[in-house]
A and B are shown apart, each in its own frame.
Chain A
Amino acid sequence: MNRRSFIRVVGMTTLGVASAGCAGRAPSDARALARPELLVALGDAPVRALGARYRVLTPAERDVDALRDAIVGSRSLRARLVGAASPPIAEMVRDDFQHGRMVLIDGWLFSVTEARQCALYSLLAA
């Protein structure tokens, strides 16, 4: 499929949440984060390509540290907001969709968290 490469924020909020905090790095093993559920649905190569596309189109999140910080920061922020433990990634993904934190990559509507996971995967998968 010859899709044009573009990425857009869809919905009510923006990607700004990513920079809201980089404090809680405790659970931030980047390899653990680089396992998007999309792998089962789409397979290795498409996920890798979609992740690479995300990095190209989101220059502020093009390396492992930036992506890890974005996911962990978002997770910590949400934990603080609800006054509870850090939510599992699956819950963050659902929460992204609930609140319109989505990105459009090659026509796919993804949660911003899982898009970052794909980007991490594209960097870390052997």
Chain B
Amino acid sequence: MHTDARTLENGSLIEGDLCIVGAGAAGITLAREWMDAGHRVLLLEGGGFDYDPRMQELYRGENVGLPYFPLQAARLHYFGGTTGHWAGFCSTLDRHDFETRDWVPHSGWPITRADLEPYYRRALPILQLGSDEWSAAGWQRRDSTLVPFPLDESVAWTKMWQFSPPARFGMLYRDAIVGARDVHLYTHANVVEILANEGATAVDGLRVRTLEGKEHRVRATRYVLACSTIQNARLLLASNGRASAGLGNAHDLVGRFFMEHLEMPSGNLAMLGRAPPSTQMYAFVFGRTKARGELALSAAAQREHRILNATVALEAAPLVEQGKSTFEWATPDVVDKMRVERVVPEDLPAASAVPRTFHLLTRQEQAPNPASRITLGTDRDALGMPRVRLDWRLTELDRRSFRGFYDALGRELGRAGIGRLQMRDWVMEPPTSPWPKSLGGGWHHMGTTRMHADPKQGVVDANCRVHGIANLYVAGAAVYPTAGCVNPTLTLVALTIRLADHLRGLEQRVP
């Protein structure tokens, strides 16, 4: 079912069993998992089915830390959410991403990779991914042209990626959601406040507004915030009627630990020999490539060098050219084209053009950092919500890890006789140096309501329930305690399926 909240009589009451706030990758996944389960599911989407600049304007905020992308351009505010312009890059977190690393402050998840494994498999069809094969050897067995470099895997390895078409949730799942008997989608229903009980131990309801000035109430048994890392934190902080610092914020953690992936051109690779090894495994053609490898360091090497996790993509290019970072090449206009234009496969490179030189594009996790955070500003949006201030901050560990990574990778590529690696100037500078102009991210927002078993160290528990609030949950990359070095969508869909199972289990326990 679908209702445009603008058509409801002002002051309407909407009631259900499970209320999901936000219809992006997480919200739609959760709603689909609850279809035909015999419960009334409310799916609230602030936007409509189409892009609307007035909706995007609600996401505008202030960047007060390191230079960052305009917030209103980094996320999409309509049915389908940011899958409306994502590029479809998918890979799994590594086992050690979940572990506590003594050189990475605040690292460690309360769950393991094994806990997430079955949910990764269930996430594949949702994202239109073809295979649960994530090893380079496995892909080589399927396609003999995909040959990984002969690396010593105790040092470095080829980490596999798969590419969604990309799945645009808004187009793919609209009919199923609208046609579902027990899922009721409300569009143009912007949640502006979470209403807690007197002790702020449970949620009593939600206050919803439309841009046209109507206000409604929503009441459900359980609530799930799935409206993106920044908006989830914004909503919790702004819901301060019962708790002055905001809901779930008894320990001043909501909004902190904002993380990105540092996606930056960091060096070059020159292949050796008159007949260098095939690099087909590492090639990528948008719209065509199903899987490719990137270069990564082993967990042991990361431990030895006390650095963060990262992968490196190879992009065939002459050494005389400079690679650009994500924020340099993808201006808001370019990002918008990814939403507007259909994905057209690029032409395949000429078969005779065997590349010998490559730009090395790094994607590195950001170290969890409590000072990197979302707070509320003094400006308000058209709905009366305080706008956000993003104070994106990085640490010396973030900077030092690039150098450690390239030292170790360059040595292994040399030992294996594959090629020689060149670092960019900024990689070689001391870790206290300012970040270069090529600083860039992946538009991957993570960590503002991090998961931890201890309420003093995390906003949600291992089941994504907000500590201290009986019926409030968070879905999405906001719960990541650490970011790993892979794009967040596959993992957030897997975590959402896990949350859906958990919530269904709770329902079944009710007499």
Residues of A bordering B, CB below 8 Å:
1, 3-4, 6, 10-11, 37-38, 40-42, 90, 93-94, 96-98, 100, 102, 104, 106-111
Contacts and interface: CB of A to CB of B under 8 A. Distances in A.
Contact of B270 (A41, A96, A97, A106): A41
A97 B422 contact: no
A1 B265 CA distance: 14
B425 A37 contact: no
A108 B356 contact: no
Contacts of B419: 41
17 contacts: A1-B322, A3-B425, A4-B425, A10-B411, A41-B270, A41-B272, A42-B319, A90-B417, A94-B417, A98-B415, A102-B411, A104-B428, A107-B422, A107-B423, A107-B424, A108-B421, A109-B423
Contacts of B411: 10-11, 97, 100, 102, 109
B414 A38 contact: no
Given A37-B272, A41-B271, A109 B415 contact: no
B322 A110 contact: no
Nearest to A37: B272
A11 to B, nearest CB: 7
Contact of B420 (A3, A10, A11, A108): A108
Contact of B410 (A6, A41, A94, A109): A109
Interface of chain A, main secondary structure: mixed
B407 A109 contact: yes
B24 interface: no
B277 to A, nearest CB: 13
A90 B416 CA distance: 11
Interface residues of B, number: 28
Interface of B: 267, 270-274, 319-320, 322, 356-357, 406-407, 410-412, 414-415, 417, 419-425, 427-428
A16 B407 CA distance: 20
A117 to B, nearest CB: 13
Given A11-B407, A107-B423, A109-B422, 11 more contacts: A1-B320, A6-B428, A40-B273, A42-B420, A90-B417, A93-B414, A97-B411, A98-B415, A102-B414, A107-B424, A109-B414
Nearest to B271: A41
Contacts of B423: 104, 107, 109
A73 to B, nearest CB: 21
Contacts of B428: 6, 104, 107
A107 B425 contact: yes
A90 to B, nearest CB: 8
Contacts of B412: 97
A8 B420 CA distance: 16
A110 B420 contact: yes
Contact of A111 (B414, B422, B424): B414
